[in-house]
Amino acid sequence: MNQQQPPEELRRSLDEALAAGPFSVALRLAIQVGGLSLDRLQHRLREQGISVSRTALSYWQSGRTQPERAESIRALRALEQVLDVPAGSLVGLLGPPRPRGRWTGHHVPRPTRPDRSWARPEGLLRVLAQVEAAPETMAHLLQRRRSTLVRLDAHRQIRSVFMQVVLEAQRPHVHRALMVHHFHMAGVPGPAIEQPRGWRPGRVRSDPETGFEVHEMILDRILPQGATAVTEYTLAFPPGHLDPHTAHRVVPGTRELTIEVVFDPAALPPLCRGFYQPSIAHPRTATEELLTGGTGTAAYTLFDPEPGIHGVAWEWN
């Protein structure tokens, strides 16, 4: 569930984002602080003779695209006035134009800092130590693409999560992957791994105090640096997992993230949204409203997503 942050906390986060970026986060927070919907923003711009599609505004604040053409920069300067942020503060956060088409150039990913990716990082350190690993070990394999399918039952419980992950070795002779999960339901057992492909389950270790669990996955072959592997597995959950969201951590170099959430027809949520956090220290901000339609499926896809925490949240009331 996307909880509303206190206005003063949102304002502080906005000030930090305007000072340091990234652009998409600053724009999202400015819209949230301003309290205007994308439709209302589009209308306010139209009153000034500036035409910007709602899709473009959505893409700018989600990080999918950024303003580049002259008319888009003009619209952004008008947005600064409408959103009551200092003139040039959003324009100044724009980096160079993004490369178009497929992946271009070589990007060396940075390891994810646990203090920025997870709450209670001491639990992450403890659970990794149980498999002779540290946070930097997780950077030995880069998740280039991740596709996730979450299924809920009629009692609003998460019952399975299917994942297909394309991994790329970032160092020579990589033979295992470490998949970290964080579960919030105290006293409820974690899931079991079923139907692995491309690897086989190794050790499973947990830290009950903080809810961390690490699954050691042994690859079918040792990967040389730069080699890729397609892997799959399903997490089968026992009853009791009532988390109102699914969240996934993305590092630089990830090309695609797809999250699908399938709800039981007997329990369709009235509201379902994509969300983003630059780090665990930032408030969660909604990126777009997702429609479940007649199939009961909410789909959320990001290309070249911003590093940070991306997910889908649903509300029942």
- Residue ending a domain, among 63, 93, 123, is 93
Does 102 or 27 have the greater pLDDT score? Answer: 27
Residue 43 lies in a domain: yes
If pLDDT is split at 50, 70 and 90, which confidence band does 73 have? Answer: confident
- Residue ending a domain, among 93, 125, 144, is 93
- Residue ending a domain, among 93, 127, 150, is 93
How many percent of the chain have pLDDT more than 70?
A: 87
- Residue 273 has what pLDDT? 93
Token code pair at residue 12: 């502080």
The per-residue pLDDT for range 300-310, each reduced to its tens digit, is 999 988 888 89
How far apart are alpha carbons 130 and 242 in whole angstroms? 27
Residue 80, domain extent: 7-93
Same domain, 271 and 122: yes
Q: Is the pLDDT of residue 6 over 50?
A: no
The per-residue pLDDT for range 244-257, each reduced to its tens digit, is 999 998 988 899 99
- Report, as an integer, the average pLDDT of 180-200: 82
Same domain, 155 and 291: yes
CATH number of the domain at 69, please: 1.10.260
- CB contact at 8 A, 264 and 275: no
Same domain, 231 and 299: yes
Token code pair at residue 53: 């599609």
Q: Is the pLDDT of residue 133 over 60?
A: yes
Same domain, 130 and 242: yes
Q: Is 153 helix (H, G, I), strand (E, B) or coil?
A: coil
113 φ/ψ angles, rounded to the nearest 5 degrees:
-80, 125
- Report, as an integer, the average pLDDT of 34-50: 89
Same domain, 137 and 66: no
Read off the amino acid at residue 286: A
Same domain, 71 and 218: no
Highest mean pLDDT: which range of 38-42, 109-113, 155-159, 241-245: 155-159
Does 267 or 16 have the greater pLDDT score? Answer: 267
CA nearest to 231, candidates 165, 150, 144: 165
Q: Is the pLDDT of residue 170 over 50?
A: yes
Question: Tokens 């604040």 label which residue?
Answer: 61
Token code pair at residue 255: 């090309």
User: Count of alpha carbons within 13 Å of 184, Cβ hemisphere only?
Assistant: 10
Domain count, the chain: 2
Does 118 or 266 have the greater pLDDT score? Answer: 266
How far apart are alpha carbons 194 and 94 in whole angstroms? 44
Q: Is the pLDDT of residue 194 over 80?
A: yes
Same domain, 310 and 268: yes
Does 233 or 14 have the greater pLDDT score? Answer: 233
Q: Is the pLDDT of residue 179 over 70?
A: yes
CATH number of the domain at 181, please: 2.60.40
- CB contact at 8 A, 258 and 250: no
- Residue 119 has what pLDDT? 64
Same domain, 85 and 205: no
Mean pLDDT, the chain, as a whole number? 84
Q: Is the pLDDT of residue 145 over 90?
A: yes
Residue 104 lies in a domain: no
Residue 265 lies in a domain: yes
Same domain, 85 and 123: no
Q: Is the pLDDT of residue 165 over 90?
A: yes
- Residue 281 has what pLDDT? 65
If pLDDT is split at 50, 70 and 90, which confidence band does 99 have? Answer: very low
